[in-house]
Every structure is written in C-alpha cells, then in structure tokens.
Amino acid sequence: MLTCTRRLEWDAMHRIPRHESKCAAFHGHRYAVEITCHADALDDRGRVIDFGVIKERVGGWIDTNWDHTAILMEGDPDPAIALLAASNAAYGRPVYWMKVPPTAENLAAELAIRARELLADTGVRVVRLRLWETPNGSAEWDGLVG
C-alpha cells in the first residue's frame, strides 16, 4: 500500500469538563496532526497526493476553525464559557463547539471526519490520523480498522 503523510500544527485552548486533574482548567496546547493518505496508484508525477493539497484543504479548515481559538464542549457548565465565547467573538475568532469533551481522542476523530470530507474528490483516502496534544501524548484514528 502506498501512503504519504502530511504534518500540520496549530495553537488552541480547551478544557475537559469533569476531568479529575489539571485538564479541568482552561489551558492551551501546540497541537500537531499527521494525516496519512492512501491511493491505489501514484499520479502521473509519482505522488499519492500533493502535500500542498492537504495543507490547503485540511490546514485551511484548521486555520479557520481551530487555530488560536477555544475548542469546547457544548453544555460545559463552567460559568466562564459565555464570557470566553464573547471575548473570542470580539476578536474575530470562533469557539469550536463539540458535542463531546474536546479530548485528543475526540479531536482526532473529528478531524478525521473533516479530512475525509475535504479530500473526498482527490481520489485518495485518509487511512490514518495521529493528533499530538503534547510532545508526549497523542491519539490515533485508524481508518483501516472497522
């Protein structure tokens, strides 16, 4: 199987409601993701996909929705949530609302869905996505399993 992997990075904050430790507080990360794509055959230039296409499409989505913003859970009971959302809006940055806690695992699954949608017309398939929340911790989504 032929694959290629593109790495993208961004900065964002989150908090994990009901977390039993430090992650219950608002905090930020330098996130990174490795997106692995598969093609049945290389294109006429010898590539699975141009790395720039992944950067433009998936990286563009990340820039718009996740970079320098807050990634939060809908219904988070913290009283600061409304103020934070209003503050971000005043600075022209969205809050990205998730139906589930914004853990590395849930972010990886969310981004895998988006990446598949964004690259659907390219003839490649996203087969793996590894999202790094810290240099020491990552979550992996595997599109070949299940």
List, for residues 1-28, the tens digit of each pLDDT value.
889 999 999 999 999 999 999 999 999 9
What is the reported pLDDT for 1? 80
Spans of the chain, pLDDT less than 50? none
Q: Going from the N-terminus, what domains does the chain have, and what CATH number goes with each? A: 2-142 (3.30.479.10)
Active-site positions read 23, 68, 133
113-to-18, 35, 79, 106, 119 alpha-carbon distances in Å:
26, 12, 30, 11, 10
CA 74 to chain centre: 17
In 3-state terms, what secondary structure has residue 43? coil
Tell me the whole-structure pTM to 2 decimals.
Answer: 0.95
